[in-house]
Amino acid sequence: MQFDFWRKALKATGRSAHHRAHQDKAAQDRMSTLSDALGARQDLRSLRSVLRSLGDAEAIAPLLDDIRTASRAVPSGKSLAAG
């Protein structure tokens, strides 16, 4: 969304970002992937928090294990930003 806004702002001021289209697209793809990964991590943290609030530790233990496994499968923001 930031790149879309940037292009619109450049167009509104009579400038062009056409020569940066390829670089912008690559950066936009990386930012989108990073945003998806960070969103997935936030969702898993929220789910874990809700499950813990239920208070039945024995019943939710397998679910917390599943959340831990899923968290490990989500790429870290650091590794995605470097790519």
Average pLDDT of the chain, as a whole number: 81
Residue 39 to residue 56: CA distance in whole angstroms: 27
Residues 6+ apart with CB under 8 A from 76: 37
Look-up of token digits 């870290």:
76
pLDDT in tens, 27-55: 778 878 888 888 999 999 999 999 999 98
Pair of tokens at residue 78: 């650091």
Position 12 scores a pLDDT of 82
Contact between 75 and 37 (Cβ < 8 Å): yes
Residue 47 to residue 44: CA distance in whole angstroms: 5
**pLDDT class for 14, splitting at 50, 70, 90?**
confident
Mean per-residue pLDDT, 22-26: 71
Look-up of token digits 């930012």:
31
Question: Domain boundaries in the chain?
Answer: 2-82
pTM of the model: 0.63
